[in-house]
Amino acid sequence: MMWNRCEIYQFSRKLLEPKWSKRHECYVSTGFDREIGGENQEVPPEIANAVHNHACRINDSYPPQTIALISREIGKYALLAVATALRDDSDRPLIGYRYFWLEKPSQDGEIDGIGTLLEWWMTQGSPTFQLQPSSSSPKTPPKASSSWLNRHDFLKKYSTDSVKISIKKIEQEKKYSRSPLYLDNITFEDCREFHALALSLQANDSSPLNWAFRVSQLEIPEQFSLVYTQDSDQEQLIIRFDRVPESFSTVSEYISSDIQVKRCLLNLAKNKDLERNLQALSSYLSSLDSDHWNWEIIVDKTALKNHNITAARYRALLAILKPFPEIANWLDWLRKPRGNKQFGRAGIEMQQQALDQNPHLEQRLYALIDDLLITEQYKNRKIPDLPQEKQWLLIRSKSFWSDYFYDSAKYYTKSLLIQIHYPEDCQLDNHFFNKILQDYQQKKLPDATKKRYEFLARLFAEVRAYSLAALFYQVSQGEVPADIYTQAEIHLIDLQKSHRSSGLIGLAWANLTQDLMLLFRNLRGG
């Protein structure tokens, strides 16, 4: 019979090249790339849309204790998502997904697509998402095949006594409870028994078979007929008797959600109904970190082509919401002929309004400063140095960016002191520190890196962070200008004093005097 065997395909969530974390003793992610990568067969649009629109998504802030499984029937396709808890290089929780899918034969309605995937997955050793350098893993996983399972055979094999007891309990509770029904302290060790329970409960229902196993918190729980939650406190079974929405309804709903975010950002850029749209932005951010938004849908390509104040505000919003290097792209845009000081100031004012409404963005902005100062390449693409633009943003703008940069300088000094001189007391897992310490140990640095570090030395000298300035002069030039050497209260590394002067001490005090005069005028009312 031609339908005896099926082809099983796979793809994964695509993350950027990982790096090794000494603290966690494992690889950690350096950022999100795209939702679908490493596919060994073109992913059908129905599945791609469902994945892009969070139909199989666990909230990143609530990763599974071990691994979680999510199944979906999407038209003629069956999809199994395997979720694994990860960390990123800012020590935030992240989830890796590995997806397996097949196309069901339309000739046989008794075929159990999800059951077939589950049985194959278990016999293959339960493969999961592995965060490894690209050199250690094949770019395209091999295709696989398996024998079909029908519903009757699956139920016969996995409807154990515990499954039958659970069904009786559910039927009893269903008489007295509304949907959804919550049952505590029900334990499932085998995902196939859980699927058998789902099949039994779906016996008289033609809605798609969508369930989640060992999850903490789904992004769209109302789309699943059966959910087995598991966290450190309890285990709970959630059953929905109401008809679960069809998968295409879900996709439409979440495409519209992305469109709402898109409109919100455009309205903010246009200064349209600011208070309401700032509140909406806050709501979107509280639901999902913007690193994981569906930017392919959200970004308005037309807005990026414009050369006006609205475009300046729009790009400034993207700079603080999209992952790095969007902030470098924004500064690069400002330095070109189409940009000017008015565009830069309008953008910072827009960012300030977003920050006032969402103070939790502070940590994100500190991380962006780290990357802006030290990152030389991103996805094999050189990041432009942009020294004048960085100096303007972090010092000359006299904005919240200046305050954050000054705070960062103090934090860098203290943290590097501990990391260099007392490493046994503190192991800092930070891209900024790791890059500096790595380069400090190199006997010879590339000229481009030396130039970048010399720029950082001058930048920190301007905010009177002389200990940091001395460090970067030493690393980049092998010696420290005499005036910087004298002002450095802490020698973070061994320093060699030069006979020349940097000429920056007077500039730093001139900037301070200018700031004090400006403050005095403001206090006097102009």
pLDDT given for residue 522 in this prediction: 54
pLDDT given for residue 444 in this prediction: 86
Give pLDDT tens digits for 237-291: 888 876 555 543 444 444 457 788 999 999 999 999 999 999 999 988 887 788 8
Report which listed range, 55-59, 270-274, 375-379, is most confident.
Answer: 270-274
Average pLDDT over residues 469-485: 95
pLDDT given for residue 254 in this prediction: 46
pLDDT given for residue 238 in this prediction: 87
The amino acid at residue 135 is: S
Q: Is 522 or 294 the better-scoring residue by pLDDT?
A: 294
pLDDT given for residue 520 in this prediction: 47
Q: Flag whether pLDDT at 97 surpasses 60.
A: yes
pLDDT given for residue 247 in this prediction: 44
pLDDT given for residue 392 in this prediction: 95
> Which range (203-207, 210-214, 385-389) has the least confidence?
203-207
Give pLDDT tens digits for 286-317: 877 888 787 878 899 889 988 899 999 999 99
Contact 240, 43 (CB under 8 A): no
Q: Flag whether pLDDT at 497 surpasses 90.
A: yes
pLDDT given for residue 195 in this prediction: 96
The candidate with the shortest Cα–Cα distance to 472, out of 517, 438, 436, 419, is 436
Q: Flag whether pLDDT at 329 surpasses 50.
A: yes
176 burial level (CB within 10 Å; 0-12, 13-18, 19+):
exposed
Secondary structure class of 514 (helix, strand, coil)? helix
pLDDT given for residue 506 in this prediction: 63
Which residues make beta-bridge pairs with 20? Answer: 27
- Return the biggest CA–CA distance within the chain: 91
Strand 211-215, strand 226-230: pairing: parallel
Q: Flag whether pLDDT at 168 surpasses 70.
A: yes
Average pLDDT over residues 469-492: 94
Q: List Cβ<8 Å contacts ≥24 apart for 197-205.
A: 197/163, 197/166, 197/167, 197/226, 198/225, 198/226, 199/112, 199/115, 199/151, 199/154, 199/155, 200/155, 200/159, 200/163, 200/167, 201/167, 201/170, 201/225, 201/226, 201/239, 205/243
Give pLDDT tens digits for 2-40: 457 899 999 999 998 899 988 888 999 988 888 899 999
Query: Considering the chain, what percentage of its residues have pLDDT values greater than 70?
Result: 86
| Sign for the pseudo-dihedral over CA of 242, 243, 246, 247 | positive
pTM attached to this predicted model: 0.56
At residue 339 the predicted structure's pLDDT band, cuts being 50, 70 and 90, is: low
Report d(CA 74, CA 68) in Å as an integer: 19
| Sign for the pseudo-dihedral over CA of 322, 327, 329, 335 | positive
**Torsion (CA) 69, 75, 76, 79 in degrees, nearest 10:** -10
At residue 146 the predicted structure's pLDDT band, cuts being 50, 70 and 90, is: very high
Q: Flag whether pLDDT at 135 surpasses 70.
A: yes
pLDDT, averaged across the chain: 85
Report d(CA 136, CA 307) in Å as an integer: 44
pLDDT given for residue 504 in this prediction: 82
Report d(CA 39, CA 10) in Å as an integer: 6
What does residue 374 show for φ and ψ, rounded to 5 degrees?
-115, -25
Report d(CA 208, CA 240) in Å as an integer: 13
At residue 379 the predicted structure's pLDDT band, cuts being 50, 70 and 90, is: low
Report d(CA 19, CA 426) in Å as an integer: 19
**Residue-wise burial string across 405-431, b where 16 or more C-beta atoms lie within 10 A, e elsewhere:** beebbeebbeebeebeeeeeeeeebbb
Q: Domain residues of the chain, as ranges?
A: 5-245, 408-526
Secondary structure class of 11 (helix, strand, coil)? strand
The candidate with the shortest Cα–Cα distance to 95, out of 291, 336, 355, is 291
pLDDT given for residue 182 in this prediction: 81
Q: Is 2 or 334 the better-scoring residue by pLDDT?
A: 334
